[in-house]
Structure 1
């Protein structure tokens, strides 16, 4: 059964601090700061692949930062409920297609990232 959430637009500054810190660390290619924001049992899903735990997520952060050159602009932020957030980024760069809007869907637990799903 799929959970139903109603999205409430919020100012990006009103996102949980851990999400703000993660997004900044990701842009700075700071894998150590980024990984510190995930729970030990966290899962990241990107391009249809799941990355479980610190080592796999750290590798994903390093690889994602090195494959392509791109610019990113945060274009929307939504609170789905007390623990779920959707942050939309517009990317332009030298990746296939060159332009994409990506949803970064966060689930939080104990003030850390439990899951992150990145998809168009």
Structure 2
């Protein structure tokens, strides 16, 4: 996968992508939800939100939890249709700064197995005293019968 981004230029992006980013930044949650198909699914921070109303509630909750500013810093388009936009958030959440990548569904599907493995096997969780979830399952790999 190409990880080269160009400077953010809304004039070169599909209108629905820019409309989503604008509506999200302006806290127009009904407009955010209206950009999704009725059966759409959003995956964010390990949770799944299905359908227009769940997506509207997710966009409102995710925006209200912390105070932050967002800066659109880059973009790339692959095969003329797979769009990724990089957005830097600076705020009062843990870590203070994060760079998000708003991606296409196919890119998300391609990246998910690696992310899931890292999350469950390598990323420490505060609720588990810094251990990954897999450390709590003694027969996870099926080595014992």
CA RMSD of aligned residues (A): 2.4
For 2:31, the equivalent position in structure 1 comes to 33
Unaligned ranges ≥5, structure 2: 110-114, 116-145
CA distance in 2, matches of 1:29, 1:52: 20
Aligned pair in 2 of structure 1 residues 7, 96: CA closer, same or farther (>3 Å)? closer
For 1:84, the equivalent position in structure 2 comes to 82
Q: Per-residue deviation at 1:30?
A: 0.3
Task: Give the helix-richer structure, 1 or 2.
Answer: 2
Q: How many positions carry a matched residue from both structures?
A: 107
TM-score by length of structure 1 reads 0.78
Q: Which has the larger radius of gyration?
A: 2
TM-score by length of structure 2 reads 0.66
**Which structure has more RCO (C-alpha within 8 Å, separation ≥ 6)?**
1
Unaligned ranges ≥5, structure 1: 109-114
Task: Give the strand-richer structure, 1 or 2.
Answer: 1
